[in-house]
Amino acid sequence: MKTKDVNTLNIKGISFIGNSIMFLQLSNDRTILVPLDKFPQIEKLNPKQREDFEIIDGRFLSFLSIDEIYELHELLGVSTHPLYQNPETHINVAV
């Protein structure tokens, strides 16, 4: 998914299956599976704490039990770093 595509999306809802999977319901009617091992603070929440979330401006996700605010592009694994946006600026480094 390209960053420009992510910029037009909003989070409509979330749900969980077990302790390792979060589903993001998006404004384009897609549901995306998010592995929680990438987000250990969310993974550590108990089921009750996972119910206490807030979607902010459709772009951010926050849980009342932790101080972190997650951006949609972060949850989707899409980088917003300028080097990754323009392939012409990508630098190959040989090690």
Tens-digit pLDDT profile for residues 14-27: 999 999 999 999 99
- The residue extents of the domains of the chain are 3-89
Report yes or no: 82 and 35 within 8 Å, Cβ to Cβ: no
Q: Supply the CATH classification number for the domain 3-89.
A: 3.30.2020.40
Whole-prediction pTM: 0.74
Sheet arrangement for strand 31-35: 11-17, 21-26, 31-35
Report yes or no: 25 and 35 within 8 Å, Cβ to Cβ: no
Tens-digit pLDDT profile for residues 37-49: 999 999 999 999 9
Q: Which percentage of the chain shows pLDDT scores above 70?
A: 76
Does the CA dihedral 76-60-4-90 come out positive or negative?
negative
